Structure formats: structure tokens, C-alpha cells
Structure 1
Amino acid sequence: MPSTGSARGEDDRPLLLQLEQRLTKLIDTLYPDERTRPGYARLAKEIRETTGGTISATYLWELATGKKRNITLEQLDILAQFFGVPPEYFLNDEVSERVNAQLTLATALRDTKIRSLALRADGLSPASLDALLTMVDEARKLQNLSAVSHPNPPAAGSHD
């Protein structure tokens, strides 16, 4: 029987849990080094300086820890603007998955060796790129790393 919404528990409110998780992911992605990650006071100041919008340090902490549940559209827009994501990122699974894939790529490209590998591969034929992907997949297997799915792999001979 579907819930009527009267006495809902946290498990019945996945959107609120997702907001907490997605905000934390954005903070972790923007500031990957925990030692240099700003506290909520400094983060609130950076948000104000970057966007002109105001969200208090306490409110940010409450959102990130799930203590606060009543975010306004204005506050959602300020967070989206600061983190460079569409506001729908916080509310829509499909948008969130797409943005998270982009964040994963951006995070990987911070590594100079990965960036160098990608830049050196530019201009190679599709067959050469396929061979490189196969080599990387095999290296991942040798190191017992999980497989990486290749989204929409190009057909042999196509030019992406």
C-alpha cells in the first residue's frame, strides 16, 4: 500500500537523503584533500563571495549532515551556482548520474599522468584508441581493479 505521506520516516524520504549525499559529494569533489577542505564557515564565505547569495555555515552543516530538511529553491539555486551544477542535480537521479560521471572524469583529469595519457591519445585512429582501451582494461585486471564501463563505445572505424 503506498504511503499517504502523513507519518513518514527518513526511509520514506529518499529525496532528502539524496540532497545530503549529493551536497557532500560536491564538497568532497571540489575539495578532495580532507586536510585542506574548508570548514563550513569558510565554505559559506566562499559561497557568498562567489555567488552573492547567503547560506549560513550552520545551515550548510545541517544540510550536509541531514539535520535540516527545508531547503528553499533560492538556497538550492545558490548551491548549484557555487558548485557549477544544474539545480536539478539535487532533485533528479538522471541529472545527478550524468553530473557525477562528469565529476568523476574531472577528478581523474586532476592526475597529471592521466591527463598526459589522454592528451597523447588525441589524434590516434579509432583502432589505436580501441587497442589502448584494451591495454588499460587488462592493466586494471592485473591490479585487481574493477572494470570501467565504456559508455557508448564507438563502432570500429567510426570517428568520434
Structure 2
Amino acid sequence: MLRMLRLFLVCALLSVVLSSKEIVQPFNVQPNGQVSHFDVALGKVKCLFSWAAVGGTNEDWQMSLTKENGYTCVVERPEKTSYLFFQNFAASILGAELKSVEIFDSLGNVLASENFDIDFSDGSVKSIEGKFKNSLGRVVLHAKKSKKKKKPDKEL
């Protein structure tokens, strides 16, 4: 009986671990003015981030991709303010349908929509040259799993 209880508990724990789907990866943003890229994938869904920044020194950032009631991709400088001057940025989510975007400056304020352009058809967001004020602290993409297109029913 004790052996069966242990087996049940191990199976239950394993089920919880396997059902929670999240990947968190740190990356470094270098202020060299060059366009750089970083991405993470969770199954068939991929989150990508591109940027060019100048000023200051290297900063540690992180990207997370979580599957829970859809997908959430977060690109951020965790626990610290970014002092970099972002010349531009772009983020996208592939393998899922983009539903909404939230972008924050380095002080945690929500950026006005005139600073960036969202393209729901390709699941991307990018800064708008001349409008984006070069302060970036967090990018959040919310998506849902893409539904496969159904083949039309054959005519009878």
C-alpha cells in the first residue's frame, strides 16, 4: 500500500512538472549600435527579439515564454532599470496567433501606441523611427495557439 502511494505521488508530481511549460533564458544587451537578436522556443512556438542599443555598459536581460491559457512572451531587464538608449527594437511570436502587446519604458510606464507598430498578421511589433523615445524596459506579447485551417468539405 505504501509503495502504491509513493508511486502515485511521484506520478502526480511528474504530471505537474510536465504540464507547466515555461522557458526563461538570460541574454546580454551590448550597447554597440549593432542589430542583435535573441530567441527562445517552447515546442513549436518561438519568441524573437531584435534590437540596437548604444550608451552605458552591457546589461543582463531575460526572455521568457510561458504556455498557460495561450502563450506569453516577455522580454525584460529583470529587477533593474535599463540605462541603455535603444535605437530600435522588434519582437515577434511564431507558431501562435498574436492577440495583444504591452510595451513599457525603462521606468515601468506603458508606452503610447504611436511609439510602435503592431502587425497581427505576422505576429510582430516594432518601434517606429522618429516616434520611439529610445527607452525600453519590458515587452510582453500575448498569443493563442494558432488553429489549423480546416480543409473544406467535399461537395456531395
Q: Is TM more than 0.5 here?
A: no
- Alignment TM-score, normalising by the size of structure 2: 0.22
Instruction: For CA contacts below 8 A with separation 6 or more, give which structure has more relative contact order.
Output: 2
**Whose helix proportion is higher, 1 or 2?**
1
- Normalising by structure 1, what TM-score? 0.21
